[in-house]
Amino acid sequence: MRLTRDRDTCPEPERYELDEASRYRFDLSRRSFLGVTGAGLLIMASHEPAQAQTRNQRDTIAARLHIAKDGKITLMTSKVEVGQGSRTQLAQAAAEELRVPVDRIDLVMADTAQVPDDGGTAGSRTTPSTVPAVRKSAAAAREVLIKLAREQWSVEGLLKVEDGKITDTATGRTLSYADLAGLVDLPKSFEQNIPAEVKLCPVDQWTVLGTSPQKANARNIVTGSHRYPSDVVRPNMLYGKVLRAPSYGAVLTDVDLSAVQKLPGVTVVRDGNFAGCAAATSFGAQKALDALSSKASWKIVPHPSSKELFTYLKQKAATDESGPRKPRVRSKGSLQEGLAAAKQTVRASYEIAYIQHAPMEPRAAVAEWQAGQLTVWTGSQQPQRVRHDLADAFHLPEDRVRVIVPDTGGGFGGKHTGEVAVEAARLSKGAGRPVSLRWTREEEFTWAYFRPAGLIETQAGLAADGRLLAWDFTNFNSGASALESPYEIPHTHERFCYSEPPLREGSYRALAATANTFARESFMDELATAAKADALEYRLAHLKNERLRAVLQAAAERFDWQGARKRRLLGMGVGLACGTEKGSYTAACVEVAVDRERGAIKVLRMVEAFECGAIQNPANLRAQVEGCIIMTLGGTLSEEIQFENGRLLNGRFSKYPVPRFEDVPPIETVLINRLDLPSVGAGETPMIAVPPAVGNAVFDACAVRVRSMPIRGSALKS
């Protein structure tokens, strides 16, 4: 069974892991299964089903908003908070339309028993999709409240709404939302569809949106009292550990449970390819797992190495235009004609390594069974998907599964799946007690999915004056996001080809927009060099898109592009790049110092301009932009997953360098606030211009073009 995915939240549903089948489906007939669980847990006890949620429920005000008799306002959404600021921003959206201070709004997020299905948290969709949905429902609620006040007073005249109070302007009498909640049955009044046309607060009258209130839950974070998924504790809870394969694709052929079964207080579960232990402490569970591991036999399968990765991806690429996994092609004019007319042809290919998300909080889940009802607290960006995976794995109707996502320690596109929830639930079923399962950092590196690696081949034809006539661009494996060039070129052929990736792949902040923008913007620099043109002027000469031009010019101006080019000393270089994805626009200018003997690259300073329409929370936007810039410096300069014989060679922080304090250059951000344009998301696109800007600066510093991410310093050694 497959979930119907919301196109809104899945920018590339056919490409990314979102279509991956559930990883576990337990066989209920297995003797071992019944042996460890006891029959009682398999009986479907009669009980009130969890409040069933369907898509259309989000169209009623009641599915989204609740106002209690004490005036407390609760907003419900399936979106999750993983650090990107959705909890605060959605509260702002509701507060704006209800005309209350933001701290009056509480959010229930991502509890499948309570919230409407807004889809998962992905694709930068919260701002363009969920914020408008929340605003509409809050505005509709406001209109209902006004109507109720009118009825209470039997007046026709003008009513004013301010600070959670409705005022009859003729008499000055007031009713607060709490008053109304005491006088009428508000939940019942809210049981109505949100009208298609509902008047929203115009942007020039925003008083809550457009400001930067303190982050919701901030006090609990600084005092350590916020409970992340790894911190959830249930009565009588055990801690779990799962037996992992020694290499990718290995199949568990045999495991002797008897020794571990004798350990006091330890539950051991084997179910098909799944085996694991639970004990009173995670230390005890690990000891049991070590004992179990020594009794396990595996069938090992061959697996390619990262050294041959790009040859492998190209060999396995599906290029057949009529095949089942046919390439995605966009073309304009005639590539052949364009190339034939060109006076100069340039070719290059770029490699993008696998990288891992490595959020601070590895995957974690607490599972609890009660009378055939399963509740799981877990860190996931897709609570509905996790519920589906659990129902599928345990052959349950979805209304017997409740998934709750406490605000989680980072996601970055890496937490779309529910494997840890299923594993915790399987152990809990075996133990007959709640089980907390927290992946170790090494498990997170090894068994979570990766950002796809890719090979990108480009070719361009230039006219005698250097102008671009033809553009040919093929991405093998890494994805189609931002595949299309924003430049004005008469003849183009742009293609994404599927391959057979050796590692488990999935979503990652900005998807393939990073890879495609790296290749395109590096190549544009190579073409500017071939045309003997300035990198900025060459881009502007081919660019009509006003929003992209605006960020490029803003970044160049703040950076003093021409001045910086003139001032640079030996071993220093400057570079720029721009790009657009998911409706927002970004450009970066970078200055680097290069030491070729040591193979060292240091980013000295950076300017990034970013535009995402009307800014809804300036402080959070700045934090997202800075975070994106610094995070992507990791994939630019140091991060790459290495593997051999089905094992990771560097799956730990001591071997996989990610950005630290010492790696943060001085950063200036220029945030362009387009109040005349709809707001779009900003948690991803600010990444994409940084890698090529760094690569272009490295080339400017030492005339070596590094066509890979990461840009390895070792490539500079002469």
Binding residues (CB under 8 A) for another protein: these are 82-85, 212, 214-215, 217-219, 221-228, 230-231, 233, 239, 281-284, 357-362, 407-412, 438, 440-442, 619, 623, 626-631, 652-654, 658-662, 664, 667
The residue (of 212 and 344) whose beta carbon lies closer to another protein is 212
CB-based contact 505:452 (threshold 8 Å): yes
Report the sign of the C-alpha dihedral through residues 683, 633, 303, 418, in that order.
negative
Dihedral sign, Cα of residue 82, residue 655, residue 718, residue 715: negative
**DSSP annotation string for 112-137:** TTTS-----S-TT-IIIIIHHHHHHH
Distance CA(376)–CA(435), nearest Å, equals 10
For the bound state, the minimum distance from the C-beta of residue 573 to another protein, rounded and expressed in Å, comes to 24
Provide the residue count of the chain: 718
CB-nearer residue toward another protein: 409 or 579: 409
Least distance to another protein from the beta carbon of 203, Å?
23
User: Which run of H or of E encompasses 525?
Assistant: helix 513-530
Of 226 and 295, CB closest to another protein = 226
Nearer to another protein (CB atom), residue 163 or residue 290: 290
Nearer to another protein, 361 or 472 (CB): 361
Nearer to another protein, 218 or 600 (CB): 218
As measured in angstroms, the least distance from the Cβ of 626 to another protein is 5
CA torsion sign for 129, 131, 133, 139 is negative
The answer to whether 77 and 130 have CB atoms below 8 angstroms apart is yes
Q: State which residue, 11 or 406, has the beta carbon closest to another protein.
A: 406
CA distance linking residue 504 with residue 16, whole number of Å = 10
Taking the complex as a whole, how short is the minimal distance between the CB of residue 281 and another protein, in angstroms?
5
Contact status, residue 600 vs residue 615, Cβ threshold 8 Å: no
397 upstream amide cis, omega within 30 of 0: no
Helix or strand or coil: residue 211? coil
The least CB distance from residue 76 to another protein, in Å, is: 21
Cα distances from 101 to residues 66, 209, 436, 439, 451, in angstroms, run 16, 11, 38, 40, 40
Joined together, the tokens standing for residue 566 give 């003139």
CB of 633 to another protein, least distance (A): 8
Nearest distance, CB of residue 477 and another protein, angstroms: 25
Hey, what amino acid is at 144?
Answer: V
* The residue to which tokens 């009802």 are assigned: 373
> Cβ of residue 410: shortest distance to another protein, in angstroms?
5
User: What are 561's two structure tokens?
Assistant: 């592009």
Give least dist CB 61 to another protein, A. 31
- Closer residue to another protein (CB): 470 or 623: 623
Residue 109, CB half-sphere, CA atoms under 13 Å: how many?
A: 29
Residue closer to another protein by CB (options 528, 687) is 687
